[in-house]
Amino acid sequence: MLCVLIGMPGSGKSTVGRQLARRLGLSFSDTDQVLESRLGCSIREFFEAQGESAFRDHEEQTLADCLAQGQGVISTGGGIVLRPGNRERLRAAPCVIYLRASPEDIYRRLRHDTSRPLLQVADPLRKLKELYADRDPLYREASGYVVETGRPTVAALVNVISMQLDLAMPNRLGSPTSEAPKL
C-alpha cells in the first residue's frame, strides 16, 4: 500500500504520517527530510541561497523517487502541489490524503517555528491565509480524500484515517475516486 499525505505547512503531515505508518506496518518517508539529506543543508538555507525555483526542482525529483518505491506512507512538503507535474503524479497514486487545516489553526501551531522559509514575514497569519487561498484548490485537485484536522489529537486523526482506509480500501489495493471525499 502507498499512502501520501499532502496539505499546508503545519497541518500535521509528518506527525500523523509517522504514526499512520506505524499503525499500518509500513515504512515512512518525509520528502522534506529526504530533501535535506540530499541537499546537505536545511531547506531554509537552500531556499535562501538558491531560491524557490531551484528548491522546487529538487522537490519534484524527490517526490518522483519516493512514489517510485511503491509503498509506505509519504509526507510531503506544503508546496508540493504547486507544480502541475507533481499534482499529476499525486493523482496517479492509489491513496492521497489532504490533511486540511485552517490558517488560524496552523498559525497557532507554527507561530514560534523559524524553520519554515515562507513564514518568515512580518504577518505570518496573513501569509498563511494567502497560501491557503492559493493552495486549497490544488490540494483538492491532487487528493483522493480530505481529512479535516481541526483540533483532534494525532492519535484520533490516525484512527480516523486508518478506519476510513479500511472502508475505502478493504484490501488496501483501491484507487482514489475522481472527487475528494471527506474522511
**Amino acid in position 132:** Y
Residues 6+ apart with CB under 8 A from 64: 89
Task: Please check if 10 is assigned to a binding site.
Answer: yes
Task: Please check if 32 is assigned to a binding site.
Answer: yes
Task: Please check if 56 is assigned to a binding site.
Answer: yes
2-6 and 72-75 beta bridge pairing: parallel
Task: Please check if 14 is assigned to a binding site.
Answer: yes
Task: Please check if 91 is assigned to a binding site.
Answer: no
Task: Please check if 11 is assigned to a binding site.
Answer: yes
> Using CA atoms, how far apart are residues 119 and 3, in angstroms rounded to an integer?
27
Task: Please check if 44 is assigned to a binding site.
Answer: no
> Using CA atoms, how far apart are residues 116 and 113, in angstroms rounded to an integer?
7
Task: Please check if 144 is assigned to a binding site.
Answer: no
Taking Cα atoms as reference points, which of 181, 128, 139, 145 lies closest to residue 10? 128
Taking Cα atoms as reference points, which of 27, 10, 2 lies closest to residue 114? 10
Task: Please check if 12 is assigned to a binding site.
Answer: yes
Task: Please check if 13 is assigned to a binding site.
Answer: yes
Task: State the binding site for Mg(2+).
Answer: 14
Task: State the binding site for ATP.
Answer: 10-15, 116
Task: State the binding site.
Answer: 10-15, 32, 56, 78, 116, 135
Task: State the binding site for substrate.
Answer: 32, 56, 78, 135
